[in-house]
Amino acid sequence: MTSPRIVVFDLDGTLVDTAPDLIGALNYVLDREGLPPVPLHSARTMIGAGARKLIERGLEAEGRLASIDDITRLTSDFIDYYAAHIADASRPFEGLESALDDLQAQGFRFAVCTNKLEWLSKRLLEQLGLSARFSAICGADTFGVSKPDPAILHQTVARAGGQIASAIMVGDAGTDVGVARRAGVPVIGVEFGYTDVPIAELKPDRLIGHMRDLPAAVASLHFSL
């Protein structure tokens, strides 16, 4: 039996524009500490390494250092608030569902590999009506490793019922390119996500500026596998 072809997606900044709700939660905890809010446009590049790192970066932007215990407390407060507001303003990127329909019709299967917590990832996708599209939704806590450790990608693909040799990664940042390279998987970079280094500089195998271009990019990589 032929192994299914798997397209593995990052979540924040790739599938869904989650910045408004993530930065809203960040500003909630900053406000409780008596700190001013971080502007959304400048905070987008802080996203992508998990809640704890987002809070650390938010505090650094305000010129404040915090103890490990403080970061842990703020992270707990952040997650509580974010979980309650996870899809207030977060929306799939334009063209996503049409692209998934196209690829599904061609026999591709989908998975999510993110550094977000698994339960938060599932809650977000469920509230957006997207969770049923994915054969596996795996986060930083699912296997005890996070991107760019290749183990998380290997195990995500396995959970989706595929093999790494038939997988393609789609992401917006260095962790996504890094995990793909370490796992030996081709990678498509999206230009509309969250990264402090322009995705083009990371040299993904393909680069797209809109989700409508995803099926063609996947097809070009699939035929070269």
**Which run of H or of E encompasses 65?**
none
Q: Residue 30 carries which side chain, given as an amino acid letter? A: L
Give the three-class secondary structure for 176. helix
> Is the confidence at residue 50, as pLDDT, over 80?
no
CB 11 within 8 A of CB 142: no
Residue 208 sits at φ, ψ, to 5 deg, of -125, 150
Name residue, tokens 């989650």: 18
Tell me the C-alpha distance between 194 and 20, whole Å. Answer: 12
> Is the confidence at residue 1, as pLDDT, over 60?
no
Tell me the C-alpha distance between 158 and 56, whole Å. Answer: 33
The model's pTM is: 0.93
How big, in percent rounded to 5, are the helix, strand and coil portions of the chain? 50, 15, 40
Residues in the chain: 225
Domain 6-17+91-222 in this protein, CATH class: alpha beta
Does residue 176 carry a catalytic annotation?
A: no
> Mean pLDDT over all residues of the chain?
93
**Which run of H or of E encompasses 79?**
helix 68-84
CB 172 within 8 A of CB 195: yes
Domain residue limits, the chain: 6-17+91-222, 19-84
Residue 191 CB neighbour total at 10 angstroms: 14
Question: So what's the pLDDT on residue 223?
Answer: 63
CB 186 within 8 A of CB 225: yes
CB 157 within 8 A of CB 186: no
Q: Tens digits of per-residue pLDDT, 135-190?
A: 999 999 999 999 999 999 999 999 999 999 999 999 999 999 999 999 999 999 99
Please state which of the four CATH numbers 1.10.600.10, 2.40.160.40, 3.40.50.720, 1.10.150.240 is assigned to the domain occupying 19-84: 1.10.150.240
Number of H helices, E strands in the chain: 9, 8
What distance lies between CA 38 and its chain's CA centroid? 21
148 preceded by a cis bond (ω within 30 of 0): yes
Considering 10, 12, 172, 176, which one is annotated as catalytic?
Answer: 10
